[in-house]
Structure 1
Amino acid sequence: METYLASMLICSGIFFIPPLLALVDQGEIWNSVTMAHEGESATLSCFESPPTSSVLVTWKVMPVGGDRWSYLLSAKCNDGRTEGYKSIVFENSTFEISTDASLIFKASAPGIYNCVIKHGDKNLQEKTVLLALVKLTVTPQLPVMVDRTLRLTAQVSPTSVVAWGTWVSPRGEQLYTEITRATGVLLSKLPRVTIRESGVYTCRIGVHGNSGTSVSEHRVNVTVKQKVFIFTQVKYEISRSMASISYSLVTLSCPPVLGDYVVLYWEHPDSTTMELVFQFDRWRRSFTNQSLPHLHLIEPTTLAAAGNFSFLLKPALKNGGRYLCEVYLNDKAFIQQSILSVLYGTAKTSPSSLELACSYSQRSQVRSVRWSHVQNPSHPLQTTGVQGQIKTSVALPLTPETAGQYACTLYLDNGNSVQYIYSEQMSNIGTTVVPGSAVPPADSVSTSSHVSTLSLLLFLIPMIAIAVGVLLWRQGYCITRRRIVQSLSRHSVEVENIYENPDDLRQQTSPQGTVYMDLKPTGEMDVYKELDR
C-alpha cells in the first residue's frame, strides 16, 4: 500500500516517501535479495508464474537510501514472452529486457528494483528485488609467494543484508572470519601460506530477506607459487630490561600492533642458545607452547584489543634471559626484545649460624647485588660471592641487633631493582624450618628412644634373674629332682652375665656372698616350667 501511494504521489508531482533506508534495514519492502559481483552481469526475474494473456511489464529502480523511483523501461509480453527486444541507458548503465521479461544489466551499484505486470488497468503481479553487490578481493596479487599472508575479502553493499558469513577452504574447512558490520566486510587470512593451500575458496553469506535467510556463495581461485617470501619491512621496538623474583608473575610485552600471528623466542640466560618457545596463529586458531610450562598467552578481553599480544611468565631461576616477541601483520614484522634477570633466595640454619644466599641469572645486565639488614642498615654483613650468587652468614643465637629482616637487592644497569626479603625473629631459631635447611629425619627421635629402652631392659633382666634365684634359695624351693641338676657357685667378678660362662661359676664352691644357680634340664622337663612351679 505504501509503495502504491508513493507511486501515485510521484506521478502527480507531489514528493513524499517514508524513510526507505530504515525500511531497507528492516527488510520490509522487498520480496527477495539477489547478490551479484560488482562489474559483472546481473539478471533479475519478474514472473513468479507467466501470465496466459497479453500483459505490460514495467521496470523501475530506486537507489538504496533513496526516496524516489526512476522509470527504466517497459515491454509487452504475450504468453510469457516479450514482443521485441527493449533496452535503455540509465546513469551510464545499459538495461535490457530479455525474452522472459527479466531485467539484464551490469551491476555497478546496489538498488531496489520493482517489476509490475499489468493487464489493462489491473495489476496482476508486483515484485520488488533488492540487488546487493559483493566484491571479492584477494591480496597480494596472485600467484602468492610462500610465507606471505593471504588475505580473502568480501565486501557486501548494502551492509544490512548480511546475516552471517564465512570463508571456506578448498578442503571444506570453515576459516575464522571477521565481519565488520559498519562496512559489510568479511575478512579471512592465511598467514605464512603454504603451497598446499592453493585451490578454490568459497565465501558463504547468509542474506536477510522477506522469506527468511538465504545463502549466497561466491568463489575465487587461489594459486601459491613455491618461491619463499622474505620479510623486508621489519620494525624494532625499544628493548625492555627488567628483573623479577623467581616464580612471581612477569609480563613479556609484544609490539602494540593488531597482528595476525606471533612467535616468541628465548635465548637462555648468559648464553647464546636460542629456541622457539611459543607461536600463535589467531586466524587458524592454533598455538604451540614448546618448552616453558609456566608461559601463557594473555587473551584479549575486548574486540578492540584483538591481536594485541603479550605473555605471562612465572620464571624459575633458569628462565631468565632474552625474549624476542615477533608479531606479523600482513607482510610486515614487528619485534620487541625483553631482557629478564631472575633472583632466587634461600636460607638454612645450622647450630651456630643462619646461612643466607641469593642466586641470579642473566648477569650481563646486572650492575650489583648485595645483602643488607633492613632494620639496621649500618650493621656490617660479611658476604662472599661467586659467579651468579652472593652469600652472607648471621651468628646464632640472634640478638636484638641481628634479628629482623634481611634483604638481597639486585640492581640493573638501567637503575631498576628487585628485592628478596628474609625475615627471622629470635624466637624462631630452632623452631622454624626455612627453605634449604637440613631437616633431621622424622624417625631420628623415636630411634633414640628405642635405644634407651633397650638398654634399660638389658640392665633389668639380669637383676630380676638374680632376685628370683636368691628368693628361691632362701625359701628352700630349690629341691633336687630327678631331671634337674643343682649346683652352687660364688659370683665371679670377671663374669657380667650369669648366662655367659656357667663353668667359671661352678669353680667357686664356697657359697658366700651372692649365690647363683646353674640349672640344667636333664630330660623332657623344661627348666622354666620348674621355676614356675
Structure 2
Amino acid sequence: MQENKTYSCTLITNYPSSTMGKYFHAFILICSGSCFIISPLMAGDLRNDVVVAREDTSVILSCFDSPPTSSVLVTWKMMTTREDRWTYLISAQCIAGQTDGSSIEFGSRTFEISADASLIFRATAAAQGHYACVIEQDDKKLQERVVLLALIKLTVTPTPPVTVDSTLRLAAQVSPSSVAAWGTWVSPSGEQLHTEISYGTGSLLSKLPRVTSKDNGVYTCRIHVSGNNDRSVSEHRVNVTVNVKAVFSFTDITHGVPRSLAALFHSLVTLTCPSVLGDYVLVYWEDPDSEIMELIFQFDRWRRSYTNQNKPHIHLTDPASLAAAGNFSFLLRPALKHGGLYLCEVYLDDKAFSQANRLSVLHGYTKSSRTTLDLICVYFERSQVKSVRWSYVQNSTRSLQSRKVVGRITTSVALPVTPETAGQYACTMYLKNGNSVQYTHTVTMANIEPTISPGFALPPTDDSLPSYVSTFSFLVFLIPLIAVAVGVLLWRQGFCVTRRNVKQSLSHHSREGENIYENPDDLRQQTPPQGAVYMDLKPMGETDVYKELDW
C-alpha cells in the first residue's frame, strides 16, 4: 500500500509578548494510520553572537547552526537598546529545516523569515539591539540563540572625488561601542593604515593628508568583533576617487604670535609649533643673509613618515608621544650660521596654523697676541638684536673698551694678567623684546702667557677649550730657534764639528790624494804654506764625529 504523508507548516504572528510560549502549532505526520514524532533537536547552550551591519543594508540573522530533523516552532523576538523587555516579532513552523517564508510589518519595518528560518530585515538606527531565535517543540523550549545586532556607519570626507593636496578622512562609527575589540583601516594595496580607535565612542579614524592620485582605490574597515566565540572579523568597504585636475588650497590659516629667541652656540633651544592636534607639520628656515625660505623638515603622523632635508641638527622633541598625538615641537642645537627665521606650519584637516620662531645665535672665543688677550663675541641674525656688550663680572661698573664691527664685538685684556684684570668677563646679547643670552670667559693669572708671534685664531668648536697658550707649547716652539742660533755661532768661530764628506777649508792637500785624512805623517814632513793650520782628526765612534788631535 502506498503511504500518504501530509506536511503542515503554520505561520503564527501578532501574538502579544505575554503569550510567548503558548502559541498554537500543528505538526501532523500521517503514516499508515499511525502517528509518531521525529526525534527532536537536542537542547543547546545559549550562544551570544554579534553581527555588525552597515546602516541601510539588508541583514540576515541565522537561527540554526544545522537544520533540524523534526518539526519545530521557530519564533523571533527582539529587545532594543532602549528597552529591557522582549518584543515578539514573527513565528513559523519549520519542518525538516524548511519554512514557507512569511513576512510581517512591525513598526514601519518589514521582517521576513526565509526558507531556512533566518530573519531578514533592513538595518536602521531603530533596528539596533538583541534578537532571539527560540526553537520549541510541544511547548518545550529546545534552544534559544541570541544575536546582538551592531551598526557601523562609514563616512568619507570630503565626498569623492577628492581634490589633490586635500586631507582625506576615513571614519567608522560602531554602535554599541563595546562591540569593537580592535579595528583598522586598510589601503587598496592591503597595507594597514594608522588608525586611532576611541573605545568610549566606538570610532575608528584614519587620514590621508596631502592626497595624490596614488590614493585612488577601495578602502576597507576591518573590525575584530568581541563577543563571538571565534572572534570573527567584520569588513566593510568604501571606494575613493581622486580628481587630479583640482588642487586644494588652504585659505583658513591662523598665525600665532611670532617668538624672538636667543641661544648660545651649540646649546639646546626649543622651537615651538602651534598647539593643535595636527595631521602633519612642515618646518621652513630662512637665512637672514639670503632671505631664501627652504623646507628643512616634514612629518606625517598618519603615514608615519618624516624627512629631514638639510638640517640634521633639528629633530622632534619626542617623536613617540608628542608627534603621535599631534603636538609638535623641535629641539635645535645651532651652529652660528643656523640663526634665522624658523616657520612651523601645522595642518589639521582643511585648516593651517603657523608659528614663527626667529633665532639669534651668540658665540664667543679668544685670540691671544704678544701683549693682549682678545675676547671676541660674534652673533648671527642681527635684525632682532638691540645691543651686545662686554662687561667685567667682578665689577659691573668698570667700563670696558670695545671694538665693534657688524656682527662682532671685541674687548682686550693686557698681558701679563694682573690681579686687577683677572676674573670673569661676560658678553651679553640683548634682543628687542627683552630676551637675552650671555657668554662668559674666565681670565686667570696662572694660565695666560704671551705668544711670540701674533696670529688670527679661528673660533674653537667647543667653548670649554682653554683660550691661553700654555708654557709647554711655548717652549716647544722656542727650543728649535735657540738650537739654530747656537749652531750658527759655533760655525762662525770654527768649532763646528765636520762630517767625513765635508773638507776643511784651511787644510793643505797632499800630492798623493785629495783626502786630508789618509796619511797625517806625510803632511807633517812637508813645509806647509805660511799661515796654514793642520788638524789631525780621528773617528770617535759610529756617529762619524772627529776630534782634534794633540801635536
The within-5 A match list for 1:381-460 is 381-430=400-449, 444=477, 447=480, 459=495
Cross-structure match for 1:137: 155
For the 8 Å contact 1:487–1:517, the answer to whether it is kept is: no
User: d(CA) in 2 for partners of 1:112 and 1:78?
Assistant: 26
Cross-structure match for 2:93: 76
Cross-structure match for 2:528: 506
Closer, same or farther: CA 43–302 of 1 in aligned 2, 3 Å: same
Closer, same or farther: CA 229–190 of 1 in aligned 2, 3 Å: same
1:118 Cα offset (Å):
1.4
Cross-structure match for 1:154: 172
Cross-structure match for 1:16: none
In the alignment, structure 1 segments of 5+ residues that lack a partner are 1-9, 14-27, 463-481, 490-502, 520-527
Closer, same or farther: CA 388–303 of 1 in aligned 2, 3 Å: closer
Cross-structure match for 1:96: 112
1:441 Cα offset (Å):
8.9
Cross-structure match for 1:6: none
Q: Does residue 486 in structure 1 map to residue 508 in structure 2?
A: no
1:443 Cα offset (Å):
6.0
Cross-structure match for 2:396: 377
Closer, same or farther: CA 288–398 of 1 in aligned 2, 3 Å: same
Cross-structure match for 2:223: 205
User: d(CA) in 2 for partners of 1:507 and 1:100?
Assistant: 145
| SS of aligned partner of 1:212 | coil
TM-score (normalizing by structure 1): 0.79
In the alignment, structure 2 segments of 5+ residues that lack a partner are 1-16, 21-44, 452-463, 499-517, 539-545
1:305 Cα offset (Å):
7.8
For the 8 Å contact 2:448–2:469, the answer to whether it is kept is: no
Q: Does residue 40 in structure 1 map to residue 40 in structure 2?
A: no
1:162 Cα offset (Å):
1.3
1:59 Cα offset (Å):
0.6
Compare 327-336 and 305-314 and name the one that shifted more.
305-314
Cross-structure match for 1:231: 250
User: d(CA) in 1 for partners of 2:163 and 2:122?
Assistant: 33
1:487 Cα offset (Å):
2.7
| Aligned pairs, number | 462
User: d(CA) in 1 for partners of 2:130 and 2:334?
Assistant: 62
User: d(CA) in 2 for partners of 1:391 and 1:461?
Assistant: 52
State the Cα deviation string for residues 399-441 of structure 1 (Å, max 9, x = none).
2221111111111111111111111111221399956767869
Compare 79-88 and 391-400 and name the one that shifted more.
79-88
The structure with the greater share of residues assigned to helix is 1
1:125 Cα offset (Å):
3.0
Residue type at the aligned position of 1:148: S
For the 8 Å contact 1:488–1:517, the answer to whether it is kept is: no
Q: Does residue 282 in structure 1 map to residue 301 in structure 2?
A: yes
For the 8 Å contact 1:300–1:306, the answer to whether it is kept is: no
| SS of aligned partner of 1:427 | coil
Closer, same or farther: CA 260–298 of 1 in aligned 2, 3 Å: same
For the 8 Å contact 1:279–1:287, the answer to whether it is kept is: yes
Q: List structure 1 segments (4+ residues) > 6 angstroms apart after TM superposition.
A: 436-439, 452-458
1:214 Cα offset (Å):
1.1
1:41 Cα offset (Å):
1.4
User: d(CA) in 1 for partners of 2:417 and 2:520?
Assistant: 70
Closer, same or farther: CA 376–484 of 1 in aligned 2, 3 Å: closer
Closer, same or farther: CA 126–309 of 1 in aligned 2, 3 Å: same
The within-5 A match list for 1:250-399 is 250-299=269-318, 306-399=325-418
Cross-structure match for 1:63: 80
Residue type at the aligned position of 2:116: D
User: d(CA) in 2 for partners of 1:59 and 1:140?
Assistant: 41
| SS of aligned partner of 2:383 | helix
1:321 Cα offset (Å):
0.5
1:12 Cα offset (Å):
9.6
User: d(CA) in 2 for partners of 1:379 and 1:509?
Assistant: 73
User: d(CA) in 2 for partners of 1:95 and 1:442?
Assistant: 105
1:345 Cα offset (Å):
0.6
State the Cα deviation string for residues 228-275 of structure 1 (Å, max 9, x = none).
011110000111111111111111100000000000000012431110
Closer, same or farther: CA 107–65 of 1 in aligned 2, 3 Å: same
Closer, same or farther: CA 441–393 of 1 in aligned 2, 3 Å: closer
User: d(CA) in 2 for partners of 1:426 and 1:509?
Assistant: 60
For the 8 Å contact 1:57–1:118, the answer to whether it is kept is: yes
| SS of aligned partner of 1:175 | coil
User: d(CA) in 2 for partners of 1:157 and 1:452?
Assistant: 98
1:79 Cα offset (Å):
1.9
User: d(CA) in 1 for partners of 2:322 and 2:136?
Assistant: 52
User: d(CA) in 2 for partners of 1:138 and 1:272?
Assistant: 41
1:38 Cα offset (Å):
1.2
Residue type at the aligned position of 1:209: G
State the Cα deviation string for residues 294-313 of structure 1 (Å, max 9, x = none).
10112266589810101000
| SS of aligned partner of 2:117 | coil
User: d(CA) in 1 for partners of 2:311 and 2:522?
Assistant: 84
For the 8 Å contact 1:75–1:86, the answer to whether it is kept is: no
Residue type at the aligned position of 2:114: S
User: d(CA) in 1 for partners of 2:325 and 2:294?
Assistant: 26
For the 8 Å contact 1:486–1:517, the answer to whether it is kept is: no
Closer, same or farther: CA 65–303 of 1 in aligned 2, 3 Å: farther
Q: Does residue 217 in structure 1 map to residue 235 in structure 2?
A: yes
Residue type at the aligned position of 1:55: V
Match 1:176 to one of 194, 205, 209 = 194
1:122 Cα offset (Å):
2.8
| SS of aligned partner of 1:67 | coil
Match 1:50 to one of 53, 67, 78 = 67
Closer, same or farther: CA 516–335 of 1 in aligned 2, 3 Å: closer
For the 8 Å contact 1:348–1:438, the answer to whether it is kept is: no
Match 1:122 to one of 106, 127, 140 = 140
Closer, same or farther: CA 143–84 of 1 in aligned 2, 3 Å: closer
1:173 Cα offset (Å):
1.2
| SS of aligned partner of 1:31 | strand
Residue type at the aligned position of 2:303: R
Cross-structure match for 2:129: 111
For the 8 Å contact 1:57–1:76, the answer to whether it is kept is: yes
User: d(CA) in 2 for partners of 1:454 and 1:304?
Assistant: 72
Cross-structure match for 1:495: none
User: d(CA) in 2 for partners of 1:278 and 1:518?
Assistant: 80
For the 8 Å contact 1:82–1:100, the answer to whether it is kept is: yes
For the 8 Å contact 2:369–2:450, the answer to whether it is kept is: no
